[in-house]
Copies of this chain bind each other. A is one copy, B any other.
């Protein structure tokens, strides 16, 4: 943390928050991650050393509490940290409105599946085991096939065929699926344009868009041109 030499509350806040990665770690904590390796999944490009360092800074700043619970280390937001929700929300709303262009490097199937899993609408899904298979036609073959498995209250993602019957297969580009997640594109449009193709039984195909909820900022209205 470097100091700005200003008493302004915005400056004092940024002293804590402006370091690279910091607010993304807070975002992960707000989203419910609490163990070190769980946090890592949300910020996979961050080295463990740096994550560790940032967590220590956040503890020192009073944003995060580190606890030993059940022989596991657990990180949780303090009241102070939970109140960063407003900051993260306004950043995300601004970002989704004004930063529409994603580079190839921004696309990441693992992160996308990880968040789709987190936001699954379990109540809308069948009670029986459900397996959604994703085929991304624009990425290297090792990263092109993913499975999202739901059994009861448990959901897992997998980058190899888990061997269960597939309920629905979603064939699309990673970019299109990401745009749906961001709310840049509606399921109906994407399906109509055949940018996404579903296969599986009819009822499941119709229901699938309701299972896969878009990201938290998808509902933010977009700037109207002109």
Interface residues of A (CB under 8 A from B): 2-24, 27, 43, 45, 62, 79-80, 83-84, 86-99, 102-103, 105-108, 111-112, 115, 178, 181-182, 215, 217, 223
Contact = CB atoms under 8 A, between A and B. Distances in A.
17 contacts: A4-B21, A4-B24, A5-B106, A7-B106, A7-B108, A7-B181, A8-B92, A9-B96, A10-B23, A10-B92, A10-B95, A13-B94, A14-B91, A14-B95, A18-B20, A79-B223, A84-B94
A79 B97 CA distance: 11
Nearest to A62: B98
Given A17-B91, A79-B223, A99 B9 contact: yes
B9 A95 contact: yes
A182 B217 CA distance: 32
Specify the main secondary structure of chain A where it touches its partner: helix
A91 B98 contact: no
Given A19-B18, A98-B62, A99-B16, A9 B86 contact: no
Contacts of A12: 95, 99, 102, 106
> In the complex, which of the residues A18, A84, A86, A103 has the most CB atoms of chain B within 10 Å of its own CB atom?
A18
B84 A87 contact: no
Contact of A2 (B20, B24, B87, B89): B20
Given A10-B92, A11-B24, A83-B97, A45 B5 contact: yes
A180 to B, nearest CB: 11
Given A6-B45, A8-B111, 11 more contacts: A5-B108, A6-B106, A8-B95, A9-B93, A10-B27, A13-B99, A62-B98, A83-B98, A86-B93, A87-B87, A89-B90
Contacts of A14: 23-24, 91, 95
A13 B10 CA distance: 17
A27 B4 CA distance: 14
A4 B44 CA distance: 10
